Structure 1
């Protein structure tokens, strides 16, 4: 009988870096008897805000709800327009519709996949009240230029930093100095709480209102009522939402945040190794740091040239056949059925990146052998 050949284990596109410390933190929260929003959420908010250089953090159930609350804080509604990139997860545009405003899709620059002052200026109108800039895949946008332009135009700039914890602009954390920034802790992100999000801001009045809104508009939180020695009869000051984070999630988040620096160093090292191994592959452009900042490489995406020997989808199929999970690049929201009939200006860069780019596996525990397997398939397809 011939010896059985062992099939290599499948390589995932992403695995969160979780371990015994997170498991113990979650267990401690459960054993404390306080599993809903409570003291661990408050601590996570404080530590996270301090990390990104913001005065206030408001923990919520997801980045989508964080974006929604950020737009509520700006009192946006019907008749208002908000400029957004189509090249983003659809939640960016959807949050605008949640408040009754209209998303206006802008194109992005090829190098970073991000909005610029020029792409925003090309689509803004007299009805434009805000811009949502996305730090796409952890690649920081040029927020200094965008903040200055938005100030001149008298419109608000909201930062969708879903993927960007650990990324920097000018040596400072993404989110530092932001009017409002929204963050994600989904398992595909660098740090995770399973699900969860955060709004950060320097505006104390907004922070106070957002804390109420995430908890049905109550003027006194459950934690405040629990801590009081006297009965508190709460009032509901406006129509709010149930957007709370749990203490179990926050306990995990605190551990994850303590690992952030190590995670970013490792991800950047793996990305640099990808760069070296793929450098001589013709017609393949990898994502890179912009001149003004550094990314966390939440995603390592590559853009094959239009004359690359195989299509993006064929390359994805070849990787899958070799036991490697890759993903298509960032979606173009304006092409999704949810936005059928929605008007938009030409978006050639968005459509090119969305059609042809793909995301290669990258995660903290990735081995060089796994990376070599990915690269071997890409190189083989490039020779066809």
Structure 2
């Protein structure tokens, strides 16, 4: 007898709702935050420097700058790169809107480059055809935690004298050819939102090996103000500081940095757990006629931020929306990452039209994100697979 779907009044596979992502906070994390609350510094203080040092040490970069979010990290990077009105910046549409919004923040123009259908990352072979005399930078997103082919992107950038910003909001702890993400692009940004590998509540960071870019990042993070006497006009008064550019207040509070400094110590174990869960998903879904599994970049190490599958809708008598709704009713917290950026009404008002990245658009129509976070266990993954099987069986064209 066919099992009745929860959406049709049947019993859900799970009693409790399984979120697609969430933070993991332990007593050590809490004690570090309490320590700050009892101390002298609530805003930018010693824990910010400790956290920045830990990030740089982890990825192997010379410098790291902590800021208030992944979005502000992107904004700081575009400012440090000197992007302005009239410039064009290449970016993938398969990402959160911030990856392109940061280009608009500085008055430049996003130019969308299509993706690889098997990974969701920017298609390196399509980059050069989008380069014009106005092109000044590339923002390459390491989607899902799977690293982009940064060596090939950097080669193109050097050929055309472009800045490369790697958006690694998904990819702290990922590697490409044995080098950690964060140590190869001109600048790399990370996000510490609660659904990411580690969290600071809200927060982000930029890493770089370029001393001049680091100086600019420090300035734009804090109002464009400096106390560096080497570049100040007034070098005499000990209290003096100067605003030398237009910056923003993107300083990370010590409260957030203390949480991050504690969390980053657990990053490797978090990634190991995510890898175990992702591997279990892949082993249980391998050969499933209703699903196509995404691939990882050759010579890359995926740090597994999200687990995305593509639905073989031609084998199902339903839409992606029906699958999504049915799984939610089974208490499986699925999601979709992402709506192509230029689909959004704001970008349509700017003149962007559907059809400019056909691979991305077809990719979007089929993807669905399954739950993946450190608080999950093997039984949680099995429950997701059971729910998928239940829903697929109901909607199969063979039913």
Match of 1:363 among 367, 370, 373: 373
TM-score by length of 1: 0.93
List per-residue Cα deviations over 1:142-201 (Å, max 9, x = no partner): 111111111112211110111100111011111112211111000111111010000111
List per-residue Cα deviations over 1:30-60 (Å, max 9, x = no partner): 1112110111101111110111111000111
Q: Per-residue deviation at 1:312?
A: 1.8
Residue 150 of structure 2 is matched in structure 1 by: 143
Q: Per-residue deviation at 1:137?
A: 1.6
Give the whole-Å Cα distance in 2 for the aligned partners of 1:288 and 1:166: 18
TM-score by length of 2: 0.90
Give the whole-Å Cα distance in 2 for the aligned partners of 1:6 and 1:170: 41
The SS at the match of 2:225 is: coil
Residue 254 of structure 1 is matched in structure 2 by: 261
Q: Per-residue deviation at 1:231?
A: 5.2
What count of residue pairs does the alignment treat as equivalent?
372
Residue 284 of structure 2 is aligned to residue 277 of structure 1: yes
Alignment of 1:47-66 (within 5 A): 47-66=54-73
- Shift in alpha-carbon separation, 1:19–1:109, aligned structure 2, 3 A: same
Residue 351 of structure 1 is matched in structure 2 by: 361
Residue 337 of structure 1 is matched in structure 2 by: 345
The SS at the match of 1:103 is: strand
List per-residue Cα deviations over 1:300-333 (Å, max 9, x = no partner): 0000124131322111111111111110132200
Residue 112 of structure 1 is matched in structure 2 by: 119
The SS at the match of 1:47 is: helix
The SS at the match of 1:328 is: coil
Whether contact under 8 Å (2:113, 2:122) holds in the other structure is yes
Alignment of 1:134-213 (within 5 A): 134-213=141-220
List per-residue Cα deviations over 1:221-255 (Å, max 9, x = no partner): 9xxxxxxxx95222211211000101111111011
Residue 323 of structure 2 is matched in structure 1 by: 315
Residue 99 of structure 2 is aligned to residue 95 of structure 1: no
Moved more, 206-215 or 259-268: 206-215
Whether contact under 8 Å (2:188, 2:208) holds in the other structure is yes
Whether contact under 8 Å (1:281, 1:379) holds in the other structure is no
The SS at the match of 2:188 is: strand
Alignment of 1:226-305 (within 5 A): 232-305=239-312
Moved more, 27-36 or 280-289: 280-289
Whether contact under 8 Å (2:95, 2:337) holds in the other structure is no
Q: Which runs of 5+ in 1 are unaligned?
A: 222-229
Whether contact under 8 Å (2:150, 2:184) holds in the other structure is no
Question: After TM superposition, what 4+ stretches of structure 1 lie above 3 angstroms from structure 2?
Answer: none
The SS at the match of 1:340 is: helix
Residue 387 of structure 2 is aligned to residue 380 of structure 1: no
Q: Which runs of 5+ in 2 are unaligned?
A: 1-11, 229-236
Whether contact under 8 Å (2:171, 2:302) holds in the other structure is yes
Residue 8 of structure 1 is matched in structure 2 by: 15
Give the whole-Å Cα distance in 2 for the aligned partners of 1:199 and 1:112: 24
Give the whole-Å Cα distance in 1 for the aligned partners of 2:46 and 2:339: 37
Whether contact under 8 Å (1:82, 1:104) holds in the other structure is yes
Give the whole-Å Cα distance in 2 for the aligned partners of 1:214 and 1:26: 23
